A and B are shown apart, each in its own frame.
Chain A
Amino acid sequence: MLQFCEWLEHNSWIVWIDSSIPLSLLFEIMHYSGFFLLVGSTVIVDLRVMGLAARDRTPAEVGRQLFPWMWTGLCMVVLSGFFMFAGDAGDFYGAITFRLKILVVVVAVAFGLIVRSQVPRWSELPTIPAGAKIVAFLSLVLWIGSILISVEVPAISGVG
């Protein structure tokens, strides 16, 4: 894997993209915008499932409106994140905090998928089950955790 990361880092396309200030800026803007869209829309759905937001709408209604932006944000984050990673792939690979960040994000996305698939069923019940609220709360904590670990990557590892 380390060999692949080093190959990626020295790939002529990646070197060209990484050395271009406008492209680096573009990916950074795309990463932040996508992240705000992803986390903002996910958190609102989680808060609705927990009964703390938009209580005059069902969780399914809120979800139908916001889930497309959650996936759009995720695609923007993954695409831009790949190019931001590729330029320093070798260093990122060795950073424990970066690996932890990817793990937290993957688990958070998995929770997002659970909420996405179960929201229509939860909305048909007379009250939202306690289990659903726990899943939504964990999703919320995981996304806040992903922000924390993201800011810790450069703070602790000095990468990024």
Chain B
Amino acid sequence: MGVRLNLFAIIGSIILLLVILELIRRRYLQERYSLIWIVTGTFFLLLSIRTDILYRISHFLGFYIPSNALFFFGILFLILIVLGLSVITSRLSVKNKILAQEIVLLKKRVADLEKSLRSPE
């Protein structure tokens, strides 16, 4: 990997980490969901600083060019994160449905109560 690409990777991962931390600080990202991002960012920073680790891994896995290994890990993390998000979204949509149903039932109960208050017997 060339020096320029290396520098670019280091700066990129640092920016990624800073953006993640800032998002948590502004409460746009809950700590619970930030861990995978922090792990990803740190991993990329590590690989761009210690390129020898990247070389060793890519050699071990049989990549011809180390930057291909980096792409591979990038895509792997993206798949993990997107899959995780799909699970979270599914869970949220179930909860959202339950909430809506609760509200509908409550509305009906309140309306019935109001009616019975207005016309006792």
B is bound to A: no
Residues of chain B at the chain A interface (Cβ within 8 Å): none
